[in-house]
C-alpha cells in the first residue's frame, strides 16, 4: 500500500504539492487527473523517492521511501520523459535494466518488445515519441514491481497501443495484486482503466473517489414545468449544477437516483429525463462546485 | 540492499567509461614516449625514467580525471537522467560510491597499462639504443607511477565530483573544478612566495604554505617552472591521497544532499549561485591583488615594483571581463549579469580584506622591534626542517641541542640589548630602502619572546656575531651540562672514518662507552668551539669522526662527533685501531685484502658530479691493484685530485671503504668515462637521483 501523508513539496518559492494525503491500495489502479502544473509529476516523483518532500511522509508498505532502497525496489516508474542513454538500443537498455534492477525479466521484455513491434537492435533515438513510450512501458512492466507509476504514459500512443498498454497494466494488477498509479490530463484516458480517480489542483487533492461511486451517485436531470419556477422548487435535492432555458431546466444532481426521481415526479413535471453522466461531466461539475474550471476538452499537449 | 557498492551499478560504470579509458590509455602511452624522445639529447646523460613522467603524463591525468568523472556523472546535468538514477533501488551513497569505484578501477587499469609500457620501454631503450645515447634509469622507478598518479587521479576525481554535484551544467562544473582543484594550491604558493618577497631575509618563522606534496598542483606548477618531478614520492602520494579522501567525502555529502530537481541548474540555489560568482571573481583577482599589494608595500619601502600601475589596471579589467563572461554564460541574460553585480561587490570587498591583511601582516612583522626591557628571553633554535631535504640527516651535538633550543632561555641583559639594537637598525634600514644585505635561510635562528609576542628572526643576518651567542650559551648551566652528555645512540652500530679510510662497525659499544666517559671531562666551551669548527675529517688531517644513529622527535639522524689527539684522545685512540690501514704497495694490499669476498671500485668525478661503478676484469686483489696502478700512476699519491677512487672491500661481512685521490691524464680529449673504458673497465654510470 502507498500511503501519502500530508506531503508538501516546494520548488524555490512555488509550492508544487501542498499538504496532500491519499492512499493507494494493492490491486487498485489509481488515476490522477489534473491540468498542467497541478503537481501530478511532482507527486509521482516524490512517491518513488526522487524528490524529498519538505514535510510529510510517503510510505511504501509502511516504510518511508526516501533513501530506502528496499522500498524503492518495489516501485517501477515510467517518467513523462523516459531516459535512454545516447546511442542506446533496446538491447543495451535490456542489459542496463538487467544490471540495475534484480527483478528485471529479460524474456518478458523481449516478448513485450515483440508485441509492440520494437526492434531490439535499433537505436532508441531513432524511435518516434510513441515508440519511446512503449519501450519505457515495456521496460517497466518487465519488472515484477509491486507499485507501478506511469506519468502521462498514454500521451503520444496510438489508440491500439493505448488499449494494449491498458490491458497489460490491468493484467499486472489483477494477476499479481500490484497497484498502479497513472497520471493524465485527460479523463477519457483513465475512465475505462482506473478503479479510483483523484483530481489534483494547485498541488492539492480536490476530489478523490471510486469510479463506480462517482458514476452512480451523480446524474443529469432534464425537467420542464408548465408554469414559472426557479431553483427553490428543488429544495431537498442536492443540485450541483442548475441551468434553465425557457420552461426546460438541466440539472446535475447528487444522491440516490431512485429517491431523487420519486421526489421530482411528485412535482408533476411536463418532462422528466434522468440520464447517467460521463466521468468527464462528473469531474467538471465536481470541480465547478469547488470553484475550479476543469476543461472537458481532451487537450493534446506537447511537452 | 544496505550496501555501499552495487555490482550492477559498478559494472554499468565500467561500461560507460570504457571507451574514454581506452582513448586516455593510448594518449598516456603517447605522452610517455614523446616525453622521452623530446628530452634525449646526444652526448648528454639522460635519466630516462624521470623523463618518461614529465610533464605531459601528469597533465594527461589531470585532464582525464574530470573528463571521465563528468562523463560518468553527466546524469546530474539532465533532469530525466537525474530522475532515472535517483529512482533506482539504491541509496544515493550506493550510486556515488559504485560509480566512484568504477572510476578508480579505470584509472588503475589505465595507469598500470601505461606503467607496464613505460617499464618495457625503459628496458628496451637502455638495451638497444644505448650505443649512441647515454640513457640510464631503472624500470622500478615507474613502480612509483601507479600509486602516485592513482592518488593524483583520485584527488582530481574528488574535485571534479564536488564540482559536478555542486552544479548542473558542464561549463560551470568545469569552472568550479579548476577553482577547487588548482586555485587554492596556486594561491597559497604565490601568497607564500609574495610574503617572502615582501619581508626581509631576517624575518623567519612566518607561517607560509608548501604545496609541493600535492601531486596534481606540483605537476602543474612543474610545467611552468620546469622542475623535474619533485612531487613524485611516497610522502606526496600519501599527502595527495589524504586530500583525495577529504574531497571525495565532501563530494559524497554534496551528491547525497543534491536535489534531483536542481539537475541542469548552474547552482542548487540563488544563494549558492552568488557564492560561485564570488568564487570565480576571487579565483582570478586574488592573484592580481596579492602582487599589487606586494608592489605597493615595496614601493613604500623605496623599492621598485615588478609591474607598473597601468598593467594592474589592465589585469583588473580583464578579471572583470572574465567575471562578466562567466555570469553571461551561466545566466544567458543581461539581467543575470545585473543580478550578479552584488556578488561582484562582495568579491571586491574580499580582495580589499586580502590586501589589508597582507599589508597589515607584513607591517606587523616589520614593526616587531622591542626594547630590551620588553624582551623576556631569547633562545637560539636550529630548524629541523633544514635537515629534511639533505638525505643524510647529519647533526652535531650542538645542532641536536639547538633543535630544542627554546629550552635554553637566554636572559643575559647585554645579549638582549645587542639583539634589540641589531633588529631595530635592520628593520629601519629595510623600511627606508637602505638595507644592502638580503637573503635568508640561516640554519640557526633566534626566538625573541616579549610579553605579547614570540617571533623568530635570523639574527646572524642582522650582524650579531657567533661569539655573543656562544658567550650567552656558555652562561647557561643547563646547556653546558647537556652539551657534554653524549647523545644516546639508537643501536650499537657506528661508522668511523678519517680522510682516507672508513669502517662499518656492527658493535661499537666500547667506543660509545669511552666517548660517554670522556665527554664528561671535556669543557663545554672548548667542545662547543670544536664542534663548530670540525665537522668533517676533510677539514683536518689526523682527525677521526664517529657517526652513529640517534632518534629525535621520531626522526633518525646521523650524529657526528669528531675526535683527534687533542680532543677526546682516548676515544680517538680506540677508534683508530679499528680503521683499515691504507696499504702502500701491491704486496701489502694483497696480504691484507687477498682473502676478501669481493672488491668493487667506484670513481667520483668532482668536476662533473658524476659517479661510476667500475667492474674490473677479474676480482682478485692483485688484479685490482694493477688496475689502481693503471689509474693512478703516482700510486696512492696524496693530495687533492680531480677524481676520487673508492675501493669497497667485503671482508667477512664487514664492509671497509678505502678512498684514494688520483689523477688521470687524459690527453686525447676523451671523457673520463671513455678513458675508463679504454683501460678495460665496464663502466656503469650511477645516479644520485634515484
Chain-chain contact of A99 with B89 (C-beta, under 8 angstroms): no
If one counts the domains in chain A, the total is 2
Of A67, A77, A98, the CB nearest to B87: A77
The values of phi and psi at residue B627, to 5°, are -65, -40
Interchain contact B271–A (C-beta under 8 A): no
Q: Give B117: exposed, middle or buried? Use CB within 10 Å, 0-12, 13-18, 19+.
A: middle
Cell of residue B494, nine digits: 657506528
pLDDT at B635: 36
Q: Give the start-to-end residue ranges of the domains of chain B.
A: 7-261, 372-483, 494-576, 586-686
Chain-chain contact of A72 with B88 (C-beta, under 8 angstroms): yes
Whether residues A200 and A231 share a domain: the answer is no
The helix/strand count (H/E) of chain A reads as 10, 14
Chain-chain contact of A85 with B16 (C-beta, under 8 angstroms): yes
Distance from CA of A70 to the nearest CA of B (A): 7
Q: Which domain holds residue A145?
A: 2-210
8 Å CB contact between B589 and B583? yes
Strand order in the sheet with B555-563: B394-395, B555-563, B544-552, B494-497, B501-505, B654-662, B643-651, B598-605, B610-615, B682-686
Percentage of chain B with pLDDT > 70? 69
Interchain contact B623–A (C-beta under 8 A): no
Answer yes or no: is pLDDT of B441 > 60. no
Compute the distance between CA of residue B203 and CA of residue B400 in angstroms, rounded to an integer. 23
CA neighbours closer than 13 Å in the CB half-sphere of residue B316: 14
Whether residues A247 and A185 share a domain: the answer is no
Whether residues A219 and A199 share a domain: the answer is no
* Residue of B16, B83, B102, B258 to mutate, interface with A, max A Cβ within 10 Å: B83
CATH number at residue A248: 3.30.70
Whether residues A275 and A219 share a domain: the answer is yes
Between the CA of residue B487 and those of A1, B391, B535, B561, what are the distances in Å?
Answer: 78, 21, 16, 10
Question: What is the mean pLDDT of the segment spanning B44-65?
Answer: 71
Chain-chain contact of B8 with A102 (C-beta, under 8 angstroms): yes
Of A69, A79, A102, the CB nearest to B91: A69
- Contact residues on chain A for B79, CB-CB shorter than 8 A: 81
pLDDT at A58: 93
Chain-chain contact of B86 with A49 (C-beta, under 8 angstroms): yes
- Contact residues on chain A for B86, CB-CB shorter than 8 A: 49-50
Could you tell me if residue A76 is inside a domain? yes
Distance from CA of B67 to the nearest CA of A (A): 17
CA neighbours closer than 13 Å in the CB half-sphere of residue A191: 13
Distance from CA of A55 to the nearest CA of B (A): 15
pLDDT at B19: 93
Answer yes or no: is pLDDT of B624 > 80. no
pLDDT at B641: 42
The pLDDT tens digits for B627-685 are 555 554 433 333 334 455 666 666 555 555 555 544 444 445 556 666 666 666 666 66
pLDDT at A301: 36
Residue with cell 549561485: B273
Cell of residue A140, nine digits: 517497466
Answer yes or no: is pLDDT of B108 > 90. yes
Of A49, A70, A99, the CB nearest to B1: A70
pLDDT at A9: 92
pLDDT at A30: 92
Find the helix or strand (DSSP H, E) in which B504 lies.
strand B501-505
- How many C-beta atoms lie closer than 10 Å to residue A223's C-beta? 22
Whether residues A153 and A166 share a domain: the answer is yes
Question: What is the mean pLDDT of the segment spanning B41-70?
Answer: 73
Rg of chain A over CA atoms, in angstroms? 22
Which residues, including other chains, have CB under 8 Å from residue A126's CB and lie 6 or more apart? none
pLDDT at B662: 46
Residue of A nearest to B6 (CA): A100
Whether residues A78 and A200 share a domain: the answer is yes
Cell of residue B231, nine digits: 612531487
Whether residues A152 and A269 share a domain: the answer is no
Interchain contact B259–A (C-beta under 8 A): yes
Provide the pLDDT confidence category of residue B155 given band limits of 50, 70 and 90.
Answer: very high
Whether residues A18 and A97 share a domain: the answer is yes
CA neighbours closer than 13 Å in the CB half-sphere of residue A56: 21
Judged by average pLDDT, the poorest of A159-163, B215-219, B257-261, B574-578 is B215-219
Chain pair A-B, CB pairs under 8 angstroms: 62
Could you tell me if residue A297 is inside a domain? no
- Contact residues on chain A for B260, CB-CB shorter than 8 A: 45, 50-51
Question: What is the mean pLDDT of the segment spanning B277-302?
Answer: 88
Chain-chain contact of A79 with B83 (C-beta, under 8 angstroms): yes
- Contact residues on chain B for A45, CB-CB shorter than 8 A: 83, 87, 260
Distance from CA of B79 to the nearest CA of A (A): 9
Tens digit of each residue's pLDDT, chain A (303 residues): 899 999 999 988 889 998 999 999 989 999 998 888 888 999 999 999 999 999 999 999 999 999 898 999 999 999 888 888 888 899 999 998 988 888 899 999 999 999 988 999 999 989 988 899 999 999 999 998 999 999 988 887 888 888 888 889 999 899 888 999 999 877 777 877 888 888 888 888 887 878 777 767 788 899 999 888 888 888 888 888 888 888 899 998 888 888 898 999 988 899 999 988 877 777 777 767 666 555 444 433 333
- Contact residues on chain A for B78, CB-CB shorter than 8 A: 83
CATH number at residue A143: 3.40.50.300
pLDDT at B346: 94
Of B2, B16, B83, the CB nearest to A50: B83
Could you tell me if residue A301 is inside a domain? no
Distance from CA of B158 to the nearest CA of A (A): 23
Of B80, B84, B91, the CB nearest to A67: B91
Which residues, including other chains, have CB under 8 Å from residue B98's CB and lie 6 or more apart? B4, B5, B6, B9, B10, B13, B90
Compute the distance between CA of residue A113 and CA of residue A130 in angstroms, rounded to an integer. 13
* Residue of B76, B89, B260 to mutate, interface with A, max A Cβ within 10 Å: B89
Judged by average pLDDT, the poorest of A87-91, B381-385, B408-412 is B381-385
Distance from CA of A205 to the nearest CA of B (A): 22
Question: What is the mean pLDDT of the segment spanning B478-482?
Answer: 90
Whether residues A203 and A229 share a domain: the answer is no
B605: β partners: B610, B643
Question: What is the mean pLDDT of the segment spanning B421-425?
Answer: 84
Whether residues A95 and A225 share a domain: the answer is no
Provide the pLDDT confidence category of residue B588 given band limits of 50, 70 and 90.
Answer: low
Residue of B nearest to A72 (CA): B89
Of A152, A183, A210, which marks where a domain is finished? A210
The pLDDT tens digits for B324-335 are 999 998 888 888
Distance from CA of B247 to the nearest CA of A (A): 23
Question: What is the mean pLDDT of the segment spanning B476-493?
Answer: 89
Could you tell me if residue A300 is inside a domain? no
More confident position, B681 or B119: B119
Whether residues A132 and A102 share a domain: the answer is yes
Residue of A nearest to B90 (CA): A69
The complex scores an ipTM of 0.83
Q: How far is CA B211 from the centre of its chain?
A: 9
Could you tell me if residue A302 is inside a domain? no
Whether residues A39 and A152 share a domain: the answer is yes
Of A210, A239, A266, which marks where a domain is finished? A210
Residue with cell 589524504: B242
Of A12, A50, A98, the CB nearest to B260: A50
**Chain B (31-90) residues lying within 8 Å, Cβ to Cβ, of chain A:** 78-81, 83-84, 86-90
- Contact residues on chain A for B98, CB-CB shorter than 8 A: none
Answer yes or no: is pLDDT of B427 > 60. yes
H helices present in A33-158, as ranges: 40-47, 69-72, 90-100, 106-115, 129-141
Chain-chain contact of B1 with A73 (C-beta, under 8 angstroms): yes
Amino acid at each position: 500500500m502507498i500511503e501519502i501523508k500530508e506531503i508538501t513539496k516546494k520548488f524555490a518559492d512555488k509550492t508544487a504539492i501542498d499538504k496532500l494525503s491519499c492512499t493507494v491500495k494493492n490491486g487498485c489502479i489509481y488515476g490522477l487527473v489534473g491540468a498542467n502544473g497541478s503537481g501530478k509529476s511532482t507527486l509521482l516523483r516524490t512517491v518513488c523517492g526522487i524528490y524529498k518532500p519538505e514535510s510529510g511522509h510517503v510510505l511504501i508498505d509502511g516504510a518511508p521511501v526516501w533513501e530506502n532502497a528496499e522500498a524503492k525496489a518495489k516501485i517501477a516508474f515510467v517518467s513523462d520523459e523516459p531516459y535512454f542513454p545516447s546511442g542506446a538500443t533496446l538491447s543495451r537498455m535490456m542489459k542496463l535494466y538487467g544490471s540495475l534492477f534484480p527483478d528485471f525479466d529479460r524474456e518478458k521484455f523481449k516478448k513485450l518488445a515483440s508485441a509492440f513491434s520494437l526492434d531490439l537492435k535499433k537505436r532508441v533515438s531513432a524511435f518516434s515519441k510513441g515508440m519511446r513510450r512503449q519501450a519505457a512501458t515495456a521496460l517497466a512492466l518487465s519488472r515484477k514491481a509491486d507499485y507501478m507509476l506511469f506519468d502521462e504514459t498514454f500521451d503520444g500512443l496510438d489508440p491500439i497501443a493505448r488499449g494494449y498498454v491498458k490491458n497489460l497494466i490491468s493484467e499486472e494488477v489483477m494477476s499479481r495484486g500490484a497497484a498502479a498509479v497513472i497520471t493524465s490530463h485527460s479523463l477519457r484516458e483513465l475512465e475505462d482503466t482506473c478503479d479510483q480517480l483523484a483530481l489534483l489542483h494547485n498541488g492539492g487533492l480536490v476530489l478523490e473517489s471510486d469510479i463506480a461511486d462517482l458514476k452512480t451517485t451523480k446524474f443529469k436531470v432534464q425537467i420542464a414545468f408548465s408554469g414559472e419556477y426557479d431553483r427553490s422548487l428543488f429544495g431537498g435535492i442536492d443540485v450541483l449544477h442548475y441551468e434553465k432555458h425557457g420552461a426546460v431546466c438541466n440539472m446535475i444532481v447528487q444522491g440516490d437516483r431512485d429517491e431523487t426521481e420519486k421526489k421530482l415526479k411528485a412535482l408533476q413535471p411536463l418532462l422528466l429525463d434522468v440520464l447517467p453522466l460521463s466521468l468527464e461531466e462528473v469531474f467538471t461539475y465536481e470541480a465547478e462546485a469547488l470553484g475550479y474550471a476543469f476543461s472537458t476538452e481532451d487537450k493534446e499537449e506537447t511537452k | 540492499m544496505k550496501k555501499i557498492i552495487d555490482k550492477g551499478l559498478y559494472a554499468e560504470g565500467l561500461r560507460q567509461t570504457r571507451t574514454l579509458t581506452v582513448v586516455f590509455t593510448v594518449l598516456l602511452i603517447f605522452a610517455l614516449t614523446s616525453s622521452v624522445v623530446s628530452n634525449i639529447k646526444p652526448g648528454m646523460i639522460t635519466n630516462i625514467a624521470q623523463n618518461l613522467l614529465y610533464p605531459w603524463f601528469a597533465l594527461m591525468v589531470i585532464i582525464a580525471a574530470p573528463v571521465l568523472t563528468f562523463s560518468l556523472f553527466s546524469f546530474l546535468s539532465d533532469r530525466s537522467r537525474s530522475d532515472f538514477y535517483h529512482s533506482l533501488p539504491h541509496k544515493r551513497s550506493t550510486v556515488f560510491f559504485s560509480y566512484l569505484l568504477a572510476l578508480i578501477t579505470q584509472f588503475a587499469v589505465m595507469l598500470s597499462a601505461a606503467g607496464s609500457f613505460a617499464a618495457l620501454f625503459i628496458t628496451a631503450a637502455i638495451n638497444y639504443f644505448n650505443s649512441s645515447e647515454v640513457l640510464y634509469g631503472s624500470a622500478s622507478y615507474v613502480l612509483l607511477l601507479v600509486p602516485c598518479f592513482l592518488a593524483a587521479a583520485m584527488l582530481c576525481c574528488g574535485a571534479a565530483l564536488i564540482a559536478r554535484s555542486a552544479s548542473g551544467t558542464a561549463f560551470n562544473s568545469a569552472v568550479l573544478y579548476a577553482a577547487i582543484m588548482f586555485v587554492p594550491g596556486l594561491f597559497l604558493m604565490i601568497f607564500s612566495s609574495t610574503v617572502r618577497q615582501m619581508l626581509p631575509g631576517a624575518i623567519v618563522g612566518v607561517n607560509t604554505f608548501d604545496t609541493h606534496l600535492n601531486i596534481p598542483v606540483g605537476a602543474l606548477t612543474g610545467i611552468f617552472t620546469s622542475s623535474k618531478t619533485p612531487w613524485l614520492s611516497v610522502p606526496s602520494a600519501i599527502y595527495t591521497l589524504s586530500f583525495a579522501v577529504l574531497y571525495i567525502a565532501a563530494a559524497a555529502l554534496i551528491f547525497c544532499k543534491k536535489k534531483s530537481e536542481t539537475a541542469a541548474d548552474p547552482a542548487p540555489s540563488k544563494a549558492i549561485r552568488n557564492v560561485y560568482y564570488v568564487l570565480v571573481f576571487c579565483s582570478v583577482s586574488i592573484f592580481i591583488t596579492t602582487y599589487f599589494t606586494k608592489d605597493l608595500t615595496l614601493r613604500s619601502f623605496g623599492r621598485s615594483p615588478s609591474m607598473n600601475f597601468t598593467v594592474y589596471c589592465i589585469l583588473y579589467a580583464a578579471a572583470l571581463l572574465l567575471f562578466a563572461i562567466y555570469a553571461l554564460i551561466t545566466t544567458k541574460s543581461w539581467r543575470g549579469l545585473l543580478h550578479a553585480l552584488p556578488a561582484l561587490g562582495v568579491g571586491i570587498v574580499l580582495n580589499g580584506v586580502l590586501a589589508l591583511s597582507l599589508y597589515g601582516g607584513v607591517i606587523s612583522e616589520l614593526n616587531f622591534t622591542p626594547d630590551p626591557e620588553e624582551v623576556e628571553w631569547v633562545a637560539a633554535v636550529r630548524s629541523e626542517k633544514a635537515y629534511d631535504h639533505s638525505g643524510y640527516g647529519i647533526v652535531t651535538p650542538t645542532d641536536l641541542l639547538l633543535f630544542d633550543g627554546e629550552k635554553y632561555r637566554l636572559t643575559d641583559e647585554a645579549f638582549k640589548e645587542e639583539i634589540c639594537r641589531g633588529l631595530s637598525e635592520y628593520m629601519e634600514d629595510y623600511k627606508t630602502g637602505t638595507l644592502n644585505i638580503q637573503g635568508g635561510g640561516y640554519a640557526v635562528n633566534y626566538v625573541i619572546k616579549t610579553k605579547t609576542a614570540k617571533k623568530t628572526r635570523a639574527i646572524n643576518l642582522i650582524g650579531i656575531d657567533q661569539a655573543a651567542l656562544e658567550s650567552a650559551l656558555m652562561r647557561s648551566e643547563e646547556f653546558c651540562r647537556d652539551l657534554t652528555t653524549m647523545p644516546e645512540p639508537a643501536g650499537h652500530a657506528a661508522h668511523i672514518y678519517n680522510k682516507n679510510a672508513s669502517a662499518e662497525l656492527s658493535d661499537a659499544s666500547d667506543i660509545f662507552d669511552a666517548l660517554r666517559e670522556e665527554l664528561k671531562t671535556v669543557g663545554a666551551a672548548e667542545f662547543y668551539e670544536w664542534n663548530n669548527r670540525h665537522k668533517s675529517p676533510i677539514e683536518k688531517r689526523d682527525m677521526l669522526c664517529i657517526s652513529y644513529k640517534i632518534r629525535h622527535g621520531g626522526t633518525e639522524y646521523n650524529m657526528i662527533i669528531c675526535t683527534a689527539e687533542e680532543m677526546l684522545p682516548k676515544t680517538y685512540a680506540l677508534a683508530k685501531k679499528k680503521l683499515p690501514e691504507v696499504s702502500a704497495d701491491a704486496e701489502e694490499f694483497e696480504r691484507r685484502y687477498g682473502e676478501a669476498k669481493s672488491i668493487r671500485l667506484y670513481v667520483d668525478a668532482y668536476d662533473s658530479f658524476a659517479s661510476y661503478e667500475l667492474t674490473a676484469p677479474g676480482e682478485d686483489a692483485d688484479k685490482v691493484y694493477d688496475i689502481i696502478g693503471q689509474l693512478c700512476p703516482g700510486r696512492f699519491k696524496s693530495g687533492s685530485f680531480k677524481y676520487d677512487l673508492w675501493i669497497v672491500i667485503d671482508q667477512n661481512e664487514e664492509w671497509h671503504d678505502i678512498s684514494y685521490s688520483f689523477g688521470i691524464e687524459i690527453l686525447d680529449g676523451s671523457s673520463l668515462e671513455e678513458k675508463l673504458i679504454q683501460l678495460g673497465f665496464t663502466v656503469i654510470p650511477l645516479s644520485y637521483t634515484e
